[in-house]
Amino acid sequence: MKVGVVGVGCSKFGQRDVTIQELAFEAVSEALKDAQLSQEDIEMSVVGCVGTRGYELMPAVVVNEYCGFAGKGPIRVEAACATGSAAVYTAYSSIKAGIADIAIAIGVEKMSEVDTATSAAIGGRAGNYLWEFHFYGTTFPAYYAMHATAHMAKFGTTEKQMALVAVKAHRNAAKNPKAHFQKEITVEDVLKSRMITYPLKLYDCSPIGDGASAAILASEKAVKEHGFDPVWIESVGYSSDTSNMSMRESYVGLKATRMAAEMAYKGAKITEPLNSFDLATVHDCFTIAEIMAYEDLGFCKKGEGGKFIENGESDFGGKIPVNTFGGLKAKGHPLAATGVAMVYEVVKQLREEAGNLQVDLKHYRALTHNVGGTGHFCWVFILGR
């Protein structure tokens, strides 16, 4: 039983002056229109929302009601920054299991309702509260900054190479009307920006923002009945790792990514990842994360991620364009919206609807890579036409 993506929607990311349910409806209504479906056609609604920064403690309920899905579930899922991928996976699984023929995955997050210090504390509590935040004040940038110092020490990765990830992200986001940031930046801007958590500076970090995204998935049977022109989910890989950083094997990569990629590649019979995709959207919540993703996904050897960005291999015209939409770094990272938005972007590219951010298609196949926490969760989706 194949599962296809038949409709996608995405709100503008950024600091949004709307409630969580209003925000979700922006993406849902766009996805319904895209699939030429109405609420009555949807059998299962999955709402991804981390939710800890918003005033609604049971966001799935209000989101479902506002979107017209009361009575269609809802299931709320949470997997930190990979919550959106968990929502897509849950919708996919319900179709695979024969529970539904048409399901919607919604990712929505309002992060701007609390102040920055509170948001930093909530993020920091998302590792292992007692043994990390309580004692040591670990924040999310701190977790990735520790990976950065380990990567720099072991492989000579530089702050300039990390800055190049941000420069590429902003250059792409400037052409994306849905992106949080619409302004290009230089390496000097990144290096001179204020220190958040050594060695990560302000422009090495994705912003705190709001956003929503939605994807409508359909079974092969529903595709035939409705005459959809889908982008198929060819393979899914997922994995996880310890909550405590001190229990990890090393700090120069994410084991959860390597395992999820291995599972997804095996499912799609991919042996040469670099030569199998037209583009990839990878989890770049911090610039070092994208460099580690190149390596963990097998686009280059371990330790060569810095050179990969430096040589332009992840840019348009390079070996594999990565984060063509501006990435989490510049398009934005409203936690649960991210994973579904990755599917949105890839679907738009594979349908050749990405406008001035369109890549050349040869394989008609793309990859999404979404990490939750600091490698606490990971999902890799392979989509193709």
Partner 1 sequence: MIVESRELRMKHRIPVVKTERFWKGLEEGKVFKTVCKCGKSYYPPRAECVCGATTEWAEVSGEGIVECFTVVHSIPAGYEWSKPYRIVIASFGDVKIMGWSNDELKVGDRVSLYTAKDESGVWKVWFKKV
User: What are the residues binding partner 1 (CB under 8 A)?
Assistant: 55, 115-118, 120-121, 123-124, 128, 130-139, 141-142, 145-150, 152-154, 194-200, 244-248, 250-251
CB neighbour list of residue 220: distance below 8 Å, 6 or more residues apart? 1, 2, 3, 4
Q: What is the DSSP letter of 130?
A: I
Q: How far is the CB of 120 from partner 1 (least distance, A)?
A: 4
Residue 58 vs 195, nearer CB to partner 1: 195
Nearer to partner 1, 152 or 254 (CB): 152
Give 90 or 139: the residue with its C-beta nearer to partner 1: 139
Cβ proximity to partner 1: between 139 and 368 the closer is 139
Min separation Cβ 148 and partner 1, Å: 8
CA distance 76 to 46: 6
Catalytic (active site) residue 134:
no
CB of 64 to partner 1, least distance (A): 21
* Min separation Cβ 173 and partner 1, Å: 22
* Least gap, CB of 156 to partner 1 (angstroms): 12
Sign of CA dihedral 93, 328, 299, 140: negative
How far is it, in rounded angstroms, from Cα 6 to Cα 3? 9
- Which structure tokens are listed for 295? 């390596």
Query: Which DSSP category does 104 fall into?
Result: E
CA 340 – CA 325 distance, rounded (Å): 13
CA dihedral over 35, 111, 191, 288, signed as positive or negative: negative
Quote the least distance from Cβ 240 to partner 1, whole Å. Answer: 15
The answer to whether 2 and 20 have CB atoms below 8 angstroms apart is no
List 49, 67, 81, 205, catalytic entry: 81
Exactly one of 333, 369, 376, 378 is catalytic; which is it?
A: 333
Tell me how far, at minimum, the Cβ of 45 lies from partner 1, in Å. Answer: 26
C-beta of 116 vs 356, nearer to partner 1: 116
Identity of the residue, 52 or 311, whose beta carbon is nearer to partner 1 in the bound complex: 52
Decide whether 286 or 379 has the Cβ nearer to partner 1: 286
Residues in the chain: 385
> Catalytic site residue 81?
yes
Task: Tell me how far apart the alpha carbons of residues 85 and 339 are, in angstroms, rounded to a whole number.
Answer: 4
Beta bridge partners of 104: 45, 216
How far apart CA 81 and CA 282 sit, in angstroms, is 12
**Tokens of residue 12, six digits:** 């503008």
Residues 6+ apart with CB under 8 A from 166: 185, 190, 203, 204, 287, 329, 330
Q: Which strands sit side by side in the sheet containing 44-48, from one edge to the other?
A: 75-77, 44-48, 102-110, 210-219, 3-10, 231-240, 377-384, 365-372, 279-281
**Is 175 in a helix, a strand, or coil?**
coil
299-310 b/e (C-beta count within 10 Å ≥ 16 → b): bbebbbbbbbbe
Could you tell me the smallest distance in angstroms from the CB atom of residue 329 to partner 1? Answer: 17
- For residue 8, give the H/E element and its range: strand 3-10
| Residues labelled as active-site residues | 81, 333
